[in-house]
Structure 1
Amino acid sequence: MGDELEARLAARLSALRSERDWSLDELAQHTGVSRSTLSRLERGEISPTAALLGRLCAAYGMPMSRLLAEVEPEPPQLVPAAMQPVWRDRVTGFTRRSVSPPHPGLRGEVIEGVLEPGADIAYPVPPVAGLEHHLWVLAGGLELTVGETVHSVGAGDCLRYRLWGASRFVNSAPAEVRYVLLIVLP
């Protein structure tokens, strides 16, 4: 994520908290993230991980992709590959390409995800209850836990589900996994 995009993300996170009239302590209670980490994040002193953004988005009741779309420039109808925003979480080994970014008036979006070997990302709560996901693995294999059910999803497989509880993406294979995720708002 570029410096300008990170600065806009920090400002948007601060604005979301202000819109709810929450103190940093209240947000810390909602997310389980320390007050000091939240403060540094809102000042743009640190970059968020996917898991941290997941916690914040759950507290604010929005998918991560919507949050990122709010800080990215308005996408055109045709989204050339070179214009698709890419975000990397170097801590967890997750790369996210917004193939078809969220857009006003549209309920769906398409994301390409790449998880490096050993990547393990847990989301304790969904950003929006009932969010519809269609996950299609293009290469490699992924262990995806939805609620309490563990799914092994291999190349060519598509897992369809609604997200009501926790989820976890794990790549325990020696090669990266590449997948497409279609997200549809309820």
Structure 2
Amino acid sequence: MSTEIEPRLRLEQFLGLQLKRERQAQALKLADVARIAGISQGMLSKIENAQVSTSLDTLSRLCDVLGMPMSKLFAQYDQPDGNALLVKAGEGMEVVRRGTEKGHTYQLLNHTRGPKKSFEAYMVSMDDASEEFPTFSHPGTELLHLLEGELVYRHGNQLYRMQAGDSLSFDGETPHGPEELVRVPIRMLSVINYGTE
């Protein structure tokens, strides 16, 4: 069984779906719309279910019956393809960052295209409660969301006790990092926003 998802509907499927949605939104019966548009009920059913290609004249009549401009029928068909990045669980690219040798594992969850990156997202795993960790400093704003475990996190001269479900956001320029791993394993999401210049 294929897990592929058809990204784009054929034009006939798209138009049929739009007509059917509009008809149903107005609570109109198939038979009534077909009669007023001057086509058979069977033909309208085939158009709505993309079993036939129909003429522009028929589409125009159906739009008139439904009280919708024909441009609306086609409006979203040619929208640009999406440009999202899906990283499946556990498949983020493992990267080396300061602290990696101390028992941190970083999985990069985004791969920004182009010369400038606006943000980075990591899944950080720590499992050795006895290690001492370095502090970090970087441009931008960082958000940490603790998914599992418990730790004390340092930001400048302040200490924050974090439990699963807690979030902490801060200026990345101020030295920061784990102060104490209270309960391991620890998994947290780290998102660094570099902003735009």
Q: Classify 1:162/1:90 alpha carbon distance in 2 versus 1 (closer, same or farther; 3 Å).
A: closer
Question: Contact between 2:107 and 2:124, CA under 8 Å: does it hold in 1?
Answer: yes
User: How far is 1:150 from its partner?
Assistant: 0.8
1:84 aligns with 92
- Call closer, same or farther: CA 1:144–1:80 in 2, change over 3 Å: same
Q: Distance in 1 between matches of 2:86 and 2:112?
A: 11
Q: What is the distance in 2 between the residues matched to 1:182 and 1:90? A: 17
1:31-72 CA distances to partner (integer Å, 9 max, x unpaired)? Answer: xxxxxxxxxxxxxxxxxxxxxxxxxxxxxxxxxxxxxxxxxx
Aligned residue among 144, 152, 169 for 1:135:
144
Partners of 2:158 and 2:120 in 1: how far apart?
25
Alignment RMSD (CA, Å): 2.4
Count residues with an aligned counterpart: 108
Q: Identity rate of aligned residues, in percent?
A: 14
Partner of residue 159, structure 2: 150
TM-score, normalization by structure 2 = 0.48
Alignment of 1:1-150 (within 5 A): 77-81=84-88, 84-87=92-95, 91-104=101-114, 105-118=116-129, 119-123=131-135, 126-128=137-139, 131-150=140-159
Task: Point out the structure with max Rg over C-alpha.
Answer: 2
| Alignment of structure 1 residues 159-174 onto 2, 5 Å | 159-174=168-183
Measured after TM superposition, the shift of residue 123 of structure 1 is 2.4
- The TM-score with structure 1 as length reference comes to 0.50
Which structure has greater helix proportion? 1
Which one-letter code corresponds to 1:101 in the other structure? H
Unaligned runs of 5+ in 1: 1-75
Give yes or no for the alignment of 1:179 onto 2:188.
yes
Q: Report if the CA contact (8 A) 1:115-1:171 is conserved.
A: no
Shift of 1:140: 0.3
SS in 2 for 1:172: strand
The CA distance in 2 between the partners of 1:147 and 1:184, in whole Å, is: 19
Q: CA deviation at 1:115?
A: 0.9
